[in-house]
Each structure stands twice: as structure tokens, then as C-alpha cells.
Amino acid sequence: MSLPDAVQKQVTRLLSPLAGTPVRIIRSEPVSAGWSGQFETYPWVVRCLIEADNSTLPASVIVKLRRLAAHGRSELFRFHNETAALEFLTSIGSTIGPQFLAADDEAGILVMEDLGNGPSLEDLLMGSDSSAAADGLVAFAEALGRMHAATAGHAVKYYQLRSRDEKTDSAFDRVSILGLGIERMWSSLQEIMANSPFLPAPLAIHSDIDELLHVLSEPGPFLAFSNGDTCPANCRMTENGLRLFDFEHASFRHTLLDAAALRFPFPACGCWSRLPEHVARRAEDAYRKEMARSCPGVLDPAKFEHGLTVACAAWTIVRMVRLPKLDQGDVPHPIGFSRRGQLLDTIDITVNCSQQSRSLQPLASWLASVSDALRARWPHVPSTQPFYPAFR
């Protein structure tokens, strides 16, 4: 996609003051989306090659446009979140994401640094080089840890930027995932269980749900900035290391909601398979080492395992709301895993976390009984799902 002339004029108007001289767009082109690009295109993200006399601006920038109302992800908060997030990271000197360059809220234009055409973690996991995939996962984990360590204690500054455009609710951000309130998801899940006689009722676990919500709402030193969507597609390997992008769901929340993605891994992402345990543990260790710069408690095994159990349980509750849809059918995924099997693996990982941490045990016991009931109902599902292609 090339930018319409009217949009090009707006982009050059935004960039020229930064350059101190008129800026020209030589060419605009779609951004390479890697492996996932074969299933979805991103016409609202465009690379612009620019030219300006005696300017320090880079040779190219990324222009992200607010999506049209007809698109399923066109909510205005997404554009505001990402703009505030990149401004925030740039203002504190963090290079974990693209540097903010300019934005026009009325026109729905955000201009940011171009991270280049390097592979994403998704590309490495879907490749055939197990060493490159393992190193990429570690680099991803380190990037999460650096982001959390660098942003802890800066929540006020971030929400000041967020509140310019719309009302914000930092308390809700802490107890939600991808904009879905965990407490509301739990209520929905209880209704699903009540209407599913083949599944065990969630009895005597309300205290565990209360504990889960309390830990997430009061994370203490584990509170830090999150891009909100820790998917292996949302990053690029660059000459300066792995960097993240896509901050539409950015917020401050418990850091282990992000780190849990390494254990599942990546529960809400289309590019999903399992990781060898030694690779996942290596990534978790790398994350903890970086995060410890601001939160030494992450190195305490008991604190880490308890927090991770809470985070995994929260993710599992949100993912289990898909049960009615999955029970209707198990549509094959392009990678080759069973979507029902993905949910069963998600549940089992949370049960294992609970056993290791010895926390949320009534909840884990109920989840285990749900898993048993679903496996009996879905006998075609293998006991576990395949590894990512790089590790097969």
C-alpha cells in the first residue's frame, strides 16, 4: 500500500519541523509482516522512505494510521494507547520500542522509528534453526525484563500522557487482559459451567479468585509498563538487539502477566505451539535477571512461582471463556495444533504452576477436574500439542 497524497502531505508536515527543513516522501510501501503476513495484511502500517536536506532524520520511518470504523479493531483507545506509549518510552530514554517521532490525533496518524526488516521471534520459531529460535526467545525475554525494569515507578508519567485524550482507569488496567476484565471473565466462566452439565462446578474456590484479583490489583514492586500484547510477531531483531512494537494495549500491570507468555507460551497469539522445557526455563531465567534490576524479589523462587501461578491462572480464566465455541468444533490451525488441545495445555500448565508454588490449590484442583472432563469429551485430542517447528 502506498499512502494517499493527502496523507503524505500530512506526514511531511509533521516531520518537517523535526528535520528543520522540508521533508519529501520518496516512496511508501507495505511493511513486511513475516510468517503471519500470509494470514493477515496490515494496510494501516506503511514504511515511508524520506529525504530532507541536512537533516538528522533517518532514511525511513513507519507511519501507522488509525483503522477505519469498519475494521474490527478500530477502537479509538488503541490509537491513543500506542501514541502515549511511544511518547512515554521515548521520554524516559528507553529504546525497547520504536522512538516516537510525531502524531496527529485528529488525522489519526502516528509516525515512529523504523525497526527494519529483521526477523521476528515468530519467524524464528516457525523456521528450522533451533539455536536461532532459542536465542531469539531469550532475547525476547530479556527485552521484556529490560522494559519492566526501566519503567517501574513511572506509572504516573505514563497515565498523564494517556489522560490527555480520554479518561483512563489504571485500576482496571491491572485486573484486565487485552481489555477484558478478569472478574467479568470469571463471571462469564461460571455461567458457562452452570450450562455445561458435563463439567464440574467451581465450588469452594472463591477465596482463590479473591487472592488472584488482590495480587494483580496490588502488585507492589512487580508493577511496570507492558505493551499488553506479548506475541512473538510483535518484535524485530535489530543490530541493537530485539525490540518490541504494537503498543495498542499498553498499560501498567503486574509484570508476570507478560512473563507468563514464556511458560504457556503466548496464549492469545495465532503463532502458538509448545517450547522444550529447557528452552522456556532459559528464557525465564533471562527475564528474571533483567527484571531484578528494579525488582530483586523476582529472583526469590517462592515469590516468582506464586506470582507466575496467579498470572497463569488469570490468563487461563480469560482463555476458558472460549469453551462453548471450542466445544462446537475444533477447526485445524495452520501450524498443526488443535485449538482444543491448546486450551487443555493452557489449563495443565496452570495446574503444574500451582503444584510448584503450592498456591491457588483449590482453583488448580478444579481446573484439573475440568481438564479431565474435557479430555473425556474430546478423546481425539492428543495428550499434548507439538513443539514449534524449529524444535521438532
Residue 196, pLDDT score:
95
Task: Provide the sign of the torsion angle of the four alpha carbons 70, 72, 77, 79, taken in this order.
Answer: negative
Q: Is 60 exposed, middle or buried (0-12, 13-18, 19+ CB in 10 A)?
A: middle
- What type of residue sits at position 211? E
Residues pairing with 25 in the sheet: 50
- What type of residue sits at position 325? K
User: Helix, strand, or coil here: 220?
Assistant: helix
- 120, 235 contact by CB (below 8 A): yes
pLDDT (tens place) for every residue of the chain, 392 residues total: 578 888 999 999 999 999 899 999 999 888 876 787 777 767 779 999 999 887 788 899 999 998 766 666 667 778 999 999 999 999 999 999 999 999 998 899 999 999 999 999 999 999 999 999 999 999 999 999 999 999 999 999 999 999 988 889 999 999 999 999 999 999 999 999 999 999 999 999 999 999 999 999 999 999 999 999 899 999 999 998 999 999 999 999 999 999 999 999 998 888 899 999 999 999 999 999 999 999 999 999 999 999 999 999 999 999 999 999 999 999 888 888 899 999 999 999 999 999 999 999 999 999 999 999 999 999 999 999 999 999 99
Report which of 12, 15, 6, 8 is spatially closest to residue 29, judged by C-alpha positions.
8
Report which of 271, 368, 273, 233 is spatially closest to residue 313, judged by C-alpha positions.
368
Residue 91, pLDDT score:
97
User: 3.40.47.10, 3.40.50.720, 1.10.1660.10, 3.30.200.20: which CATH number matches 5-113?
Assistant: 3.30.200.20
**Sequence ranges of the domains in the chain:** 5-113, 128-391
- 45, 62 contact by CB (below 8 A): yes
Residue 69, pLDDT score:
64
Rounded to two decimals, what is the model's pTM?
A: 0.94
Residue 175, pLDDT score:
98
pLDDT tens-place string over residues 325-342: 999 999 888 888 899 999
- What type of residue sits at position 76? L
In this structure, whether the domain defined by 128-391 belongs to CATH 3.10.20 is answered with no
